[in-house]
Amino acid sequence: MTDTLRAAAPPPSAPASVLEPWMKTRLDPLEAYDPATRSLRSDYDLNPGMHPGEKVLHPAAVLIPLIEREGGLTVLLTRRADTLRKHTGQVAFPGGRCDPGETPWETALREAHEEVGLDPGFVTLAGLSTAYQTVSDYHIIPVVGFVRPGFTITPSAAEVAEVFETPFAWLMDPTNHERRFHEGVNGGVRRYFYAMPYEERFIWGATAGMLRALYDRLYED
């Protein structure tokens, strides 16, 4: 991005009325979606030596819900239920595997309704962020949507332990993007990942990676 364009970018603390039209120019429009597009970002970005190469990936989508609050945008996130078999207790966006014939935005809106009770009628879709591949072999399309106030939240007890909001401006501040690692078992290789600890919540892994990819796309690409 040129210095002129970077200077023209509104800060993430700007109101939704400013951010929404600008963000649409930085995201991929829905009508340009190509299901053949491969991942551009992944859990392997910080661990290139661990990349397994070409694999069969499961199509999935998440909703990045930007809530229009008076004090600025917030991002709705969930903490996964402790009873789930995978990614237990981790912070995540509403989302999941695509059903046959679904577009990513149909999946994202359906999953957000099933997981947290978010009525799709409150969501205005702004576009698609950068595709993301996980170590669990999912090819995720992040769908960015602006959510107007007035909605109600009804979490699914089977899938969601908690729903909370984090300021968008905080998440888009690169000084809050930490690089951490797990030590491999029995002297194994370290695995690095992005983490964004916010108050008592620990946002990390694929969720933090997709947020970092959104930051890069909006403010650094």
Tens-digit pLDDT profile for residues 123-161? 999 999 999 999 999 999 999 999 999 999 999 988 898
Nearest of 92, 86, 61 to residue 160 by alpha carbon: 92
Copy the structure tokens of residue 194: 């992005």
Condensed to tens digits (0 to 9), the pLDDT of residues 11-65 reads 999 999 999 999 999 999 999 999 887 778 999 999 988 888 888 899 999 999 9
Copy the structure tokens of residue 59: 């199509």
Is the torsion defined by CA of 6, 63, 179, 132 positive or negative?
A: negative
Q: Residue 109 and residue 54: Cα distance in Å, rounded?
A: 29
- pLDDT, residue 85, reads 54
Exposure of 210 by Cβ count < 10 A (0-12 exposed, 13-18 middle, 19+ buried)? buried
Nearest of 47, 93, 90 to residue 210 by alpha carbon: 93
Supply the pTM of this predicted model.
0.92
Q: Alpha carbon of 115 to those of 61, 71, 95, 108, 149: distances in Å?
A: 13, 26, 8, 10, 18
- pLDDT, residue 186, reads 56
Question: What counts of helices (H) and strands (E) characterise the chain?
Answer: 5, 12
Bridging pattern class, strands 58-69 and 138-147? parallel
Condensed to tens digits (0 to 9), the pLDDT of residues 106-127 reads 999 999 999 999 999 999 999 9
Beta partners for residue 95, in sequence order: 62
Condensed to tens digits (0 to 9), the pLDDT of residues 203-217 reads 999 999 999 999 999
Amino acid code (one letter) for 179: R
Instruction: Show the domains of the chain with their CATH numbers.
Output: 3-220 (3.90.79.10)
Q: Alpha carbon of 150 to those of 31, 54, 121, 123, 153: distances in Å?
A: 28, 44, 11, 11, 10
Bridging pattern class, strands 72-80 and 160-167? antiparallel
